[in-house]
Amino acid sequence: MFFPISPKDILEKIKDLSGFVRKFNDIDLNKKILSLEQEIINIARENRRLNEQLELNRTASRLSATMKYDQGKQTYFNEGDIVPFCPKCWENEKKQIHLTLQKWNKGTRFDCKVCNYSHVPENVKIGRRKTRNFFKEG
């Protein structure tokens, strides 16, 4: 049976070996051990980075299952959430960023505070009734 050993455990074993080798004053062997220690540290960093990326991908995959695009409203909605998400942030980086409702001189629009995306839906005008209808309609 294979038991994976962590880079940290390997590094500890090499440090033990390094202490043993120092007793013999073999400079070349010490240099090789130090080089090996550095390689293991680099592998551990890469391993951590890949694990973090894997977790981000798993999270994005779970979110993708519940995120739906509404063609008429040109935004994304998550199941059970009535506030739209930024399509630019979602499509480019799989980030769930809620759009905020803003009033401006031509009516009402949705803005993303992260990427500065703006969307002016056709059926949203100044006034609470129309705005509420945007969120309630399916």
Rounded CA separation 103/101 (Å): 7
- What tokens appear for 91 in the block? 């499509």
Selection from 59, 63, 112 nearest residue 83 by Cα: 112
Q: What is the DSSP string of 18-60?
A: HHHHHTTT-HHHHHHHHHHHHHHHHHHHHHHHHHHHHHHHHHH
Higher-confidence residue of 136 and 72: namely 72
Q: What is the pLDDT of residues 53-94, one digit of tens each?
A: 999 888 878 877 788 888 877 888 888 888 888 999 988 888
Is residue 29 scored above 80 in pLDDT?
yes
**57 and 35 Cβ atoms separated by less than 8 Å:** no
| pLDDT for the residue numbered 122 | 66
pTM: 0.51
What mean pLDDT is reported for the chain? 78
| pLDDT for the residue numbered 134 | 57
| pLDDT for the residue numbered 129 | 47
| pLDDT for the residue numbered 114 | 93
**89 and 117 Cβ atoms separated by less than 8 Å:** yes
